[in-house]
Structure 1
Amino acid sequence: MNIKAILFDHDGTIADSEQAHFEMWREVLHKYNVDLSHEEYKSQYAGIPTTENAKTIVENHSLDVEPITLVLAKTEITNAYLAKQAFPLMSGALESVRYFYEQGLQVGIVTGAGREGVNITLKNHGFEKYVSVVVSGDDVEHSKPAPDCYLLAADKLGRQPSECLAIEDTYNGSLAAIRANMKCIGVSSSHSVRDAFSKTVYECSDLGKATKWIAENVQLQSSR
């Protein structure tokens, strides 16, 4: 692999936000007598845009409510959270982003969620100077697991997909990168999630291990 750009997922990869999103969905669904389990959330909703999650939740639980009602409720809770604070960072996130930047690689963030959460992460955690491009679910018609967001990120960076390496924490996210003809590393603290990854070049439990593996096994080419 001759890599010139590293593309990070945001929620669950850079930002330690999945627990917060899980609790937000639990709050939304409590009104409809749905006791959302962490297993269901992680396997079906993590890494997927709110609009798609709302449709799936309505179908899975046979709810008598329009998906847009759930979307609006989830968005309101999320906005209230982000108005007070940024999501905390995953362990090793800033160090990993800084390392690849210092190696001369282009760094991007590719998320299936909205842009606002990423913007707040960049601003509040000092990522702005390291990140060259952000692509969110707002920027594409078809979000993850479709490849559109990763293809757009590569195009914005002026890179071929084969010159980019993605780092993802969910199966659907990894599928999006692989469908875009990118190599992908799966990073999750969950054994079951790591077991679900398919066609990733490496799976591990945290960004520190992922960064070390890339440094030792991938040919990194400075873009400067």
Structure 2
Amino acid sequence: MTAITSQTRAILFDHDGTLIDSERTHFELWQAIAREQGVTIDHDFYCRVMAGIPVKQNAQDLVSHFSLSVGADVLAEKKYAAMRDFLATQAFPLMPGAKAVIQASVEAGYTLAIVTGGSGLSVRRTIEKHGLDGLFSTVVAAEDVVRSKPAPDCYNLALKQLKFSSEQAIAVEDTVHGMQAALAAKLRCVAIPGDYSDGQDFSAATVTYASLQDWCAAELND
């Protein structure tokens, strides 16, 4: 089985963990914020509860799980501020093979978009720093929707902006929460688990690959 069909016209890429290698940095920033509150986030907790989830929900989950007295909005703003500081001087590195896969997707005639539960600033840095200008027809980020992943709103908005039906597009995701958002938007979904999501259940995905390069070789270079 493949995700791309004869009807496919657009490929909607997740950003964090799919196109950029960012999850370790997100994990470390959240660890620092948690330590300020006297609690510890370990790798297992982050992978199970936080990876692939937008900042506001992460903050709410931390407050709930650890019974913190601080408001979730305060924690979220600390994370936003930490990310702004990080992105002020750099962009996240691309995942292995990401640029080649993006170029192969364009050369194959597909319309591309980035649909992320992260910030638009992070996406802009990626596009600027890695020479990807003009390759994506639209970007939908966390601030563009009321409900972010795993709700389907971000994908529905991207489809609306691109003027494609769900049958004409596929999603490429690295977490189960992103996969759930894509499937809820009635998209076929390529799952590419990473270091922070390889223990998640991707059985509902249309197809799963070990890497972007494997997917590209199987479906774009076929």
Could you say whether these structures have the same fold, taking a TM-score greater than 0.5 normalized by the shorter chain as the test? Answer: yes
Which runs of 4 or more aligned residues in structure 1 lie more than 6 Å from their structure 2 counterparts after TM superposition? Answer: none
Unaligned runs of at least 5 residues, structure 1: 218-224
Query: Cα distance 1:142–1:58, how it changes in 2: closer, same or farther (>3 A)?
Result: same
RMSD: 1.5
Structure 1 residue 20 corresponds to structure 2 residue 3: no
Distance 2:129 2:103 in 1: 15
- 1:166–1:185 CA contact under 8 A, matched in 2: yes
Unaligned runs of at least 5 residues, structure 2: none
Distance 1:189 1:46 in 2: 10
Structure 1 residue 138 corresponds to structure 2 residue 143: yes
Structure 1 residue 175 corresponds to structure 2 residue 190: no
For normalisation by structure 2, the TM-score amounts to: 0.94
Q: Which residue of structure 1 aligns with residue 81 of structure 2?
A: 76
Shift of 1:215: 2.5
Q: Which residue of structure 2 aligns with residue 164 of structure 1?
A: 169
Q: Which residue of structure 2 aligns with residue 221 of structure 1?
A: none
The percent of aligned pairs where both chains have the same amino acid is 37
Q: Which residue of structure 2 aligns with residue 90 of structure 1?
A: 95
- Residue 152 of structure 2 aligns to which amino acid in structure 1? P
* Per-residue CA distance 1:56-83 (angstroms, 9 max, x = gap): 1100111111001101111111111000
* Per-residue CA distance 1:112-140 (angstroms, 9 max, x = gap): 11211001101111112211110011111
Distance 2:194 2:162 in 1: 30
- 2:72 pairs with 54, 67, 73, which one? 67
Shift of 1:144: 0.5
- Residue 91 of structure 2 aligns to which amino acid in structure 1? A
- 1:146–1:176 CA contact under 8 A, matched in 2: yes
Shift of 1:193: 2.7
SS of the residue corresponding to residue 196 of structure 1 reads coil
